[in-house]
Amino acid sequence: MRDALLWYLLAINLVAFVAFGYDKLRAVRGGSRVSEKSLLWLAFLLGAPGAWLGTKAFRHKTVKRSFRLKLWTVTVLELFLVGAVLWWLYGSEWTGV
């Protein structure tokens, strides 16, 4: 189970990173783009680290304040979701209580 989760996390973060790079490439060259909704969903599906790395590595979506705010919101929601799942799975043994 842990190996599957690790592989999922690696894959979703790689996909998010590549999606930001692809969208930046399409923005520079023109053509169809990856929707902001899709980029945010990739971040929400536990791909926020890859999304943030993509924004930094490709200097993409860094100026657009509304998108940055949405990405921060998704990241915080993701952290709460992960915390809630860990609490549900491990409860008091996770906190040491």
If you write DSSP's letter for every residue of 3-66 in order, what string do you get? HHHHHHHHHHHHHHHHHHHHHHHHHHH-S----HHHHHHHIIIIIHHHHHHHHHHTT-SSS-HH
pLDDT digits (tens, 9 = 90+) for 59-75: 888 888 999 999 999 99
- Where do the structural domains in the chain lie, given as residue ranges? 2-95
C-beta neighbour count of 78 within 10 angstroms: 18
Query: Does pLDDT of 88 surpass 60?
Result: yes
Greatest Cα pair distance in the chain: 55
Query: Does pLDDT of 50 surpass 90?
Result: yes
Query: Does pLDDT of 46 surpass 90?
Result: yes
**Does the predicted TM-score (pTM) go above 0.75?**
yes
